[in-house]
Amino acid sequence: MNRLLLNKIILVLSTLSAIIGIGFLFWILITLSYKGISALHLSTFTNDLVEGGIRNLLVGQFTMALMASAIAVPIGMFAGIWLREYSNNSKLASVIRNLSDIMMSAPSIVIGVFVFALFVAPFGSYNGFAGIIALTIMMIPIIISTTDNMLSLVPKELREAGIALGGSKHKIIMQIVVKAAKVGITTGVLLSFARIIGETAPLLFTSANNQFFTMDLTGQFPSLTVSIYNLATYPDEASRELAWAASFVLTAIVLLINLTGRYMTRNKK
């Protein structure tokens, strides 16, 4: 009797907790959709911030995130490959692996401050490059860890089979091992992209924001997330509505990338 009662209590508790957890998620999503969609117009996508739209913000955010990925993905992947395939699990490797894991959980505002001190303060102006550097720093450890983990799932027999067939180490790694881990690594890249595209803190005082459309990375650069942060604090109704619309669009983008990543993992073979 006691045992059955305990079972029931645990069941009720865990069900409740699950409902509360998921409840918040749906609350956010529903509020966002409700407020966001009603504030969304076609002109939201065709106008720049100065005219009450988010066109330049979207372009700016994607430009910075894509350029950060272009730097972080190769660096992170090769670092991950070195860690798993070349380091022979030396002391140095475990130090780097730990440091990289710590970097992954570093508060993003700290990274923002760091980049501000190095790439903003000396030049006397916020600039897009600084934003890209901050995002790159955020992304590299995630890519390292994904690559490292995904490569560790490739059985060592596959490497040995490649070597036994007369392959050199680098050929087997690049042509077989990485290929075998391709789906996992691609998913990791997508998920880390989804992570940095929604970041505000690293951009807040690196690239800051720009109301106008620009591709000039040496000056203040338009950002969707920083705009949301700013707009939400403005007193006028129109700004706050735009903040809702922008938040909705951002969430939709992040969700879409995440789902794509998950879909890929599920269908891997």
Summarize as ranges the residues that interact with another protein (CB under 8 A): 88, 155, 157-169, 171, 175-176, 179-180, 182, 269
Q: How far is the CB of 171 from another protein (least distance, A)?
A: 7
> What is the closest distance, in whole angstroms, from the C-beta atom of residue 153 to another protein in the complex?
12
Phi, psi of 80 (to 5 degrees): -65, -40
Q: Which phi and psi angles does 216 have, rounded to 5°?
A: -85, 105
Cβ proximity to another protein, 98 vs 175, nearer residue: 175
State which residue, 162 or 198, has the beta carbon closest to another protein: 162
CB of 159 to another protein, least distance (A): 7
- Annotate 218-259 with DSSP letters as a single string: TS----HHHHHHHHTT-SSHHHHHHHHHHHHHHHHHHHHHHH
In angstroms, rounded to a whole number, what is the distance separating the alpha carbons of residues 269 and 8? 40
Residue 167 Cα to chain centre, angstroms:
36
Kindly state the smallest distance separating residue 1's Cβ from another protein, in Å. 49
Residue 4 or 165: the one with the smaller Cβ distance to another protein is 165
Give the CA dihedral 101, 107, 110, 114, nearest 10 degrees: 30
Q: How far is CA 9 from the centre of its chain?
A: 39
- Tell me how far, at minimum, the Cβ of 174 lies from another protein, in Å: 12
Name the residue nearer to another protein (CB basis): 6 or 174.
Answer: 174
Residue 258 burial (C-beta neighbours within 10 Å; 0-12, 13-18, 19+):
middle
Question: Which two structure tokens, joined as six digits, stand for 155?
Answer: 């059985």
Taking the complex as a whole, how short is the minimal distance between the CB of residue 156 and another protein, in angstroms?
8
Burial zone of 239 (CB within 10 Å; 0-12 exposed, 13-18 middle, 19+ buried): middle
- Based on CB atoms, which residue is closest to another protein, 85 or 241? 85
Nearer to another protein, 3 or 156 (CB): 156
